[in-house]
Amino acid sequence: MRLILMGPPGAGKGTQARYVADHFGVPAISTGDIFRANVSQGTPLGVEAKRYMDAGEYVPDEVTNLMVRNRIDEDDAAPGFLLDGYPRTLAQVTELDGMIEFTGHRLDAVVVLTVDSEELVQRLLQRAQTDGRADDTEDVIRRRQEIYLEQTEPLIGVYRERGILVEVDGMGEVDDVTARIFAALDEIPQS
Ligand code: B4P
């Protein structure tokens, strides 16, 4: 199974990714998590990514694409993968298409979680209190929402045209959202 999990910041991508990945027996690959791991280890990638993340901006495509390419090349991703937070730009869509084509497989589904915008802000402000993420301040959250609308929301139309888009209501309890995702994906034939 080759899946993408999309949605605005705070939609529950990271929360749902591990359950969905476990369900299908594939690794969950979160670009946000990989960047944060690099930031905390102080690697050159982390130093570069931090500048963008703290401002709510996207890390440049060249950096992100190379990182995903390397991760997808690892053995555990050979049977499939779930991408959490990638692609986020049209250039990343094109790059990912090339990566998957190269392996002779296809993308099975793109799940988009939909959540009201005020609920999104509340979730992230709540996370700021529990996790203390540097990009969960109100100003940066609003900026992340703007960038999502400008750069990532158009991707929904691209995948809808391909007939692989699955829209799931991301409001309500985490378990209920997980059940909705499973119900939608279990109908899809796996490559
Ligand atoms: P991410 O780590 O992907 O951050 P995010 O968009 O905020 O999503 P996240 O997965 O963390 O939130 P979730 O909805 O799970 O990216 C961070 C930054 O990295 C980006 O801003 C960018 O700078 C950079 N980046 C990452 N990928 C990139 C790319 N491809 N290109 C360029 N730059 C990239 O959870 C939010 C909160 O809601 C949690 O606290 C959770 O507990 C809570 N929650 C979840 N589900 C809930 C529910 N049903 N009810 C109530 N609360 C819920």
Which single residue is written with the structure tokens 């692989």? Answer: 164
- Closest ligand 1 atom to the C-alpha of 33? 2
For residue 87, say if its preceding peptide bond is cis, omega within 30 degrees of 0: yes
pLDDT in the model for residue 52:
97
Closest-CA residue, ligand 1 atom 5, reads 9
What are the structure tokens assigned to 24, written together?
């299908």
User: What is the edge-to-edge ordering of all strands in the sheet holding 109-114?
Assistant: 28-30, 81-84, 2-6, 109-114, 165-169
143 lines ligand 1 (CB under 6 A): no
pLDDT tens by residue, 80-119: 999 999 999 999 999 999 999 998 999 999 999 999 999 9
For tokens 């555990």, the residue is 76
Tell me what pLDDT residue 190 has.
67
Residues 6+ apart with CB under 8 A from 168: 111, 112, 113, 114, 177, 180, 181, 184
Residue 147's pLDDT is: 97
Question: pLDDT tens-digit profile of 24-38?
Answer: 999 999 999 999 999
Amino acid occupying residue 29: I
Is 127 within any annotated ligand binding site? yes
Which ligand 1 atom lies nearest to the CA of residue 113?
14
Looking at residue 164, what is its pLDDT? Answer: 96
Indicate if the pLDDT at residue 125 is higher than 90.
yes
177 lines ligand 1 (CB under 6 A): yes
Per the annotation, does 142 bind a ligand? no
For residue 174, which atom of ligand 1 is closest to its CA? 49
Strand ranges for the chain from DSSP E: 2-6, 28-30, 81-84, 109-114, 165-169
Name the helix (H) or strand (E) containing 50: helix 44-55
Q: Is 178 in the pocket of ligand 1 (CB under 6 A)?
A: no
Q: CB–CB of 8/145 below 8 Å?
A: yes
pLDDT confidence of residue 50? 96
Annotated binding-site residue? 189: no
Give residue 103's identity as a one-letter amino acid code: T
Q: What is the pLDDT of residue 187?
A: 81
> For residue 191, is pLDDT > 80?
no
151 lines ligand 1 (CB under 6 A): no
Residues with catalytic annotation? 13, 88, 127, 133, 144
pLDDT digits 0-9 by tens, 56-75 = 999 999 999 999 999 999 99
Q: Is 27 in the pocket of ligand 1 (CB under 6 A)?
A: no
Is the model's pTM score more than 0.85?
A: yes
| Amino acid at the residue 152 | T
